Amino acid sequence: DAKTTQPNSMESNEEEPVHLPCNHSTISGTDYIHWYRQLPSQGPEYVIHGLTSNVNNRMASLAIAEDRKSSTLILHRATLRDAAVYYCILRDGSGGSNYKLTFGKGTLLTVNP
């Protein structure tokens, strides 16, 4: 899987929006952009994914740059429960090793009350 780069940590205040960036300059045309998060003492949890267009779901929004070399996960109103490590992962949609997730170190998000 292509490599992603994320900040080690970010901080936010409760009820404010959070923008978590991810750079993936070597992304290929068939790579999907996935986001997972891991709350303390839990397994990772799927958040959202996209290919080219921006995506919204009940948890978050995913904004994908036009050249697809970067993306941003947007939490519209952070809550204390959103404090977690957020992982940005590329998955090859053409086959190959797409069956597995290749995690980096992710971004540790701290939410202040």
What residues make contact with other proteins under the rule CB under 8 A? 30-32, 34, 41-46, 49, 51, 85, 87, 91-95, 97-106
Reading across the β-sheet that carries 55-56, which strands appear in turn?
A: 18-23, 70-75, 61-64, 55-56
Which is closer to other proteins, CB of 46 or CB of 65? 46
Which is closer to other proteins, CB of 46 or CB of 80? 46
Which is closer to other proteins, CB of 38 or CB of 72? 38
Cα dihedral 11, 65, 103, 75, rounded to 10, equals: 40
Distance between CA atoms of residues 107 and 113, nearest Å: 19
What's the min distance (Å) between Cβ of 64 and other proteins?
14
What's the min distance (Å) between Cβ of 34 and other proteins?
7
Token digits for 111? 């939410």
